[in-house]
Homo-oligomer: A and B are copies of this chain.
Amino acid sequence: MDSYTLPYTFSQRAQQLTSSTIREILKVTERPEIISFAGGLPAPDGFPVDVINQAYDTVLANSGRSALQYGPTEGYAPLRAWVAEDLKRVGASVDADEVLIVSGSQQALDMLGKLFIDPGSKVLVEAPSYLGAIQSFSLFEPSYQAVPTDDGGLIPAGLTNDVAAGARFIYVLPNFQNPTGLTLSLERRQALVERCAALQVPIIEDDPYGDLRYAGTAQPGLLGLGRAVGATVIRLGSFSKVLAPGLRLGYIVAPRPIISKLVQIKQATDLHTATLTQMAVYETVKTGFLTEHLPKVRDIYKAQCGYMLDAMDEHFPATVSWTRPEGGMFIWVTLPSHIDGTELLARAIARNVAFVPGAPFFAGAHPQTNTLRLSFVTVPEARIREGIAILGALIKES
């Protein structure tokens, strides 16, 4: 139907939404014969189903009526306090009233878009960066400015006065970045928060994978480092990767004046996050369950990552390079410059293998089309080896 004949008019932002070609291609990944390295799904073997079931039962049996009633927009107070206490592990000293509970980190991105972005506002992103964040922010029509990266991740010196001038915020994933799998060194973290403090650019630190470290040494979060030097840091956390994503539970940590605005925004957005979910997750984590649970999850991810790296060492030609993540879910592959990731995907799908091409992860920068993102988390070992062998052969044929 021609848009002029529609009996309704969409907003400018909605008119700009187009169905993504890659999304259409990746719909085939639901077919069982496809070996899919495209997903961002956590390993369901790591979901503590029985513990969560017990927690729901306890909450509904003991506090059913309050668990099923409307709750405060800020979130369930004991869970906010638990998050504040837990952040000591990443070197941050936070009060419970600096924590706002949200319906997954994706909602935090939407709310921060509402808070900070006017049409045309400059927003700084790593090149490449998380696609879901780009999608969220884009609804508020920012102008993206890419901050350069290398094999150590974001380059703080790339944050020049020119690059940073007037930026509403910089969006950073310091641990096992999506899509690259790279982790920022302590030196770069320190340099980043110092530059942002001097430039008065708020930092959005998105850390969904930080607890999934299975190699190397944990680094302090940008929140603690930034507060020490007067930077404004807004930290996003999530229970999706440490417990289960189907719960849709995450949180925002920020200075009180920002939390105060975000509470008003959250109220207009969905009133509050489900009370029952918050109480059940608090019931699950309050006794330190994650301390025993997370090592099991890390072991799964470490093994899965190892299978894929092994297979890549065996099957990928020397003209291809890739990251070796210390945690998280993703490996980033750089192909010879004449190979286009989207074109390779089309050929891979024909051989029943899928991944996400790298180009869409670049906002505000010339996309590196000879890249792709591989997720190793949910595919069984034998299928990983089979799929990587096929990809290797396709690359060699290119």
Q: Check B41–A136 contact: CB distance below 8 A.
A: no
A167 vs chain B, min Cβ distance (A): 9
How many copies of this chain does one complex carry? Answer: 2
A266 vs chain B, min Cβ distance (A): 10
CB contact between A246 and one of B50, B67, B248, B265 (< 8 Å): that residue: B67
CB contact between A11 and one of B1, B53, B110, B116 (< 8 Å): that residue: B116
In the complex, chain B residues whose CB is within 8 Å of the CB of A12: 118
Of residues 17 to 66 in A, which have CB atoms within 8 Å of B's CB atoms? 17, 19, 40-42, 44, 47, 49-50, 52-53, 56-57, 60-61, 64-66
Is there a chain B Cβ closer than 8 Å to A257's Cβ?
yes
Q: Check B265–A247 contact: CB distance below 8 A.
A: no
Chain B: CB-nearest residue to A49: B64
Q: Check A270–B65 contact: CB distance below 8 A.
A: no
A8 vs chain B, min Cβ distance (A): 5
CB contact between A69 and one of B41, B69, B275 (< 8 Å): that residue: B41
In the complex, chain B residues whose CB is within 8 Å of the CB of A60: 49, 52-53, 56
Is there a chain B Cβ closer than 8 Å to A336's Cβ?
no
User: What CA separation (Å) do A1 and B232 show in the bound complex?
Assistant: 15
Q: Check B274–A246 contact: CB distance below 8 A.
A: yes
In the complex, chain B residues whose CB is within 8 Å of the CB of A1: 257
Q: Check B269–A110 contact: CB distance below 8 A.
A: yes
Is there a chain B Cβ closer than 8 Å to A7's Cβ?
yes
Q: Check B11–A270 contact: CB distance below 8 A.
A: no
Name the segment of A100-108, A212-220, A311-319 touching the other chain.
Answer: A100-108
Q: Check B257–A6 contact: CB distance below 8 A.
A: yes
Q: Mark A261-296, 1 if CB is under 8 A from B, else 0.
A: 100110111111111110000000000000000000
In the complex, chain B residues whose CB is within 8 Å of the CB of A200: 7-8
Given contacts A44-B68, A115-B14, contact A248 B274 (CB under 8 A): yes
Report how many residues on chain A are interfacial, defined by Cβ distance under 8 Å.
78
Q: Check A69–B53 contact: CB distance below 8 A.
A: no
Is there a chain B Cβ closer than 8 Å to A71's Cβ?
yes
User: What CA separation (Å) do A140 and B246 show in the bound complex?
Assistant: 29
Q: Check A115–B10 contact: CB distance below 8 A.
A: yes
A231 vs chain B, min Cβ distance (A): 8
In the complex, chain B residues whose CB is within 8 Å of the CB of A248: 103, 270-274
Q: Check B139–A268 contact: CB distance below 8 A.
A: yes
In the complex, chain B residues whose CB is within 8 Å of the CB of A117: 11
Is there a chain B Cβ closer than 8 Å to A380's Cβ?
no
Chain B: CB-nearest residue to A168: B9
A19 vs chain B, min Cβ distance (A): 8
Q: Check A269–B107 contact: CB distance below 8 A.
A: yes
Q: Check A270–B103 contact: CB distance below 8 A.
A: yes
Q: Check A270–B68 contact: CB distance below 8 A.
A: no
Chain B: CB-nearest residue to A11: B118
Q: What is the interface of chain A, defined by CB distance below 8 A to chain B? A: 1, 6-14, 17, 19, 40-42, 44, 47, 49-50, 52-53, 56-57, 60-61, 64-71, 103-104, 106-107, 110, 114-118, 121, 132, 135-136, 138-140, 168-169, 200, 202, 232, 243-248, 257-258, 260-261, 264-265, 267-277
Closest 9 CB pairs of A and B: A49-B64, A68-B244, A246-B275, A53-B60, A44-B65, A68-B246, A107-B270, A248-B274, A7-B200
Q: A17-B264, A53-B61 are in contact. List 9 more A-B contacts (CB 8 A).
A: A7-B202, A8-B200, A11-B117, A14-B116, A17-B265, A106-B268, A106-B270, A110-B268, A248-B274
